[in-house]
Chain A
Amino acid sequence: MPLFYKGIGVGTHHHGSNLFSMGLTARKPGGARTVNALTTHIVRGTTTTPYISLTRSFGVAEMYAFASRTAPTPANPAHVWEIEIDDPPPSGVTVLDPMAEIVTSLPSPLAQFTYQHDGDQNFLLGVVDPPGLGLNAHLHRLVRLPPGVDGPRTPNLSDELQALVRALRDSEILVIGTIPQSCFRHRHDVC
């Protein structure tokens, strides 16, 4: 069965919950389930949505667990939960690959407005922006424009492109519904 991970920081919504006995429900299970809402969930980090973010990577989950509302300590650690979800998933649970959801909603390549950027070849490094490397500056490098075109300006950065890049970076999978307690295999303490 595929394994997923969920990082939960100290003081965050589910930190005090025993997921072995309660399972896990999104903060706003009745919220809008649209590609737009899904994209916003990933791009803005909005937590009050019907989506639960999981990752295929223990390392990514651990980084999210360390993102706590107070520093994790041995007495009050953050947690990485190990979750197994069957195929097909339990009743009432929908598992989404955000990449697939966003890609199928992208406009035609002939559409006036596109998700694609018009910056240089390093522009995506700025979108990924590994912490501490200062690559964010690539986002603000002016677009090269042909002679006679009005400028200067910074490259186009669509929400769709940001969501695609960040979902890939975080090996992100989204779940709708309640992940039942039987799916929770292990809780790793992180501090």
Chain B
Amino acid sequence: MVTVTSADLRGKLEDVGPVHFLRAEWWKESPRFVLLRFAIRGEEQGLGLRLDLDKQAILDSLDDDQLDRMLSEHAKKIWAVVAGERQRAIASQRREHSAVG
């Protein structure tokens, strides 16, 4: 079973329409992707949005053309923040492992 690692995104990303980003999740089995967890009107959604780190694109649709377009326009900004947070979390994990070792 996958082991989920996450980074808090609250306050680090602007909302896109009603989409309020909560955290980024990833697991080593799909290293090219990060899952963006988000809330709409204060309610966390059961399914996240997949961010392809390589293509710097959000792969999923929220079945709302205008919102999908807005997310697509914000994808590079989102990618820049999320990639940085992920790098920091990975570096911190490595430091902890080497300190334990």
Contact = CB atoms under 8 A, between A and B. Distances in A.
Contacts of A74: 1
A50 interface: no
B49 interface: yes
B101 interface: no
A44 B55 contact: yes
Secondary structure at the B interface, as helix, strand, loop or mixed, is: loop
B47 interface: yes
B8 interface: no
Contacts, number: 65
A70 B32 contact: no
Nearest to B37: A70
Contacts of B25: 71
Nearest to B75: A44
A191 interface: yes
Contacts of A47: 59-61
Interface of A: 9, 11-12, 43-48, 62-64, 66-74, 129, 131-132, 166, 191
Interface of B: 1-2, 4, 25, 27, 29-33, 35, 46-50, 52-55, 57, 59-61
Question: Nearest 6 CB-CB pairs, A to B?
Answer: A131-B31, A66-B30, A69-B47, A67-B33, A66-B29, A11-B47
30 contacts: A9-B50, A11-B46, A11-B47, A44-B55, A44-B57, A45-B52, A45-B55, A45-B57, A45-B59, A47-B60, A47-B61, A48-B61, A64-B30, A66-B27, A66-B30, A66-B33, A68-B50, A69-B47, A69-B48, A69-B49, A70-B35, A70-B46, A70-B47, A71-B4, A71-B25, A71-B27, A71-B35, A131-B32, A132-B31, A191-B2
